[in-house]
Amino acid sequence: MINIKKYIVLPVSLLVVSGLFFSCNKGEDIRGVGFGSLEVSSVFSGEASPLLVQVDGETRDTLSVDKPYTTQKILIKEGEHQLVLFNMTTQKALTDTTITVEATKTISLPKFYYTGDAALFDDLTAKPSSPDNMLVRVVTLDPSLPDVMDLKISVYDYASVNIPLADKMIKGVRKDRFSGFIELPDPATLAPPDVAFILYAIEGYDPNDNNKKVMSIENGTNSYFLLSNNQYYIPNAVVSMGIGAYRDGVQEPFEIFERIIP
Q: pLDDT of 124-149, one tens digit each?
A: 999 999 999 999 999 999 999 999 99
pLDDT exceeds cutoff 80 at 12: no
Q: Residue 243's closest CA among 158, 147, 131?
A: 147
Q: pLDDT band at residue 10, thresholds of 50, 70 and 90?
A: very low
- Greatest distance between any 2 Cα atoms in the chain: 120
Residue type for position 84: V
Structure confidence by residue, pLDDT tens digits, 181-213: 999 999 999 999 989 899 999 999 999 999 999
Going by the DSSP 8-state scheme, the letter that residue 142 receives in this structure is -
Residue 178: count of CB within 10 angstroms of its CB: 21
pLDDT at 37: 96
Judged on CB neighbours under 10 Å (0-12, 13-18, 19+), 14 is exposed
Alpha carbon distance 57, 59 (integer Å): 7
- Which phi-psi region, left, alpha or beta, contains residue 125 (left: φ > 0; alpha: ψ -120 to 50)? alpha
Structure confidence by residue, pLDDT tens digits, 155-170: 999 888 999 999 999 9
Angle 115-181-169 from CA coordinates, rounded to 5°: 100
- Cβ pair 239, 258 in contact under 8 A: yes
Q: What percent of the chain has pLDDT over 90?
A: 82
Alpha carbon distance 125, 232 (integer Å): 22
Alpha carbon distance 221, 243 (integer Å): 11
Q: What ranges do the domains of the chain cover?
A: 28-114, 122-260
pLDDT exceeds cutoff 60 at 16: no
What would you report as the CA-atom Rg of the chain, rounded to the nearest whole angstrom? 27
Alpha carbon distance 25, 242 (integer Å): 50
pLDDT at 24: 37
Query: What phi, psi does 247 have (nearest 5°)?
Result: -160, 130
Which listed CATH number (3.40.630.30, 2.60.40.1120, 1.10.260.30, 3.40.50.10470) goes with 28-114? 2.60.40.1120
pTM of the model: 0.82
pLDDT at 7: 33
Alpha carbon distance 6, 3 (integer Å): 10
- Residues 6+ positions from 241 with CB-CB distance below 8 Å: 136, 137, 138, 139, 225, 226, 253, 254, 255, 256
Q: Residue 48's closest CA among 34, 35, 63, 27?
A: 63
CA distances 12 to 17, 19, 22, Å, are 9, 11, 16
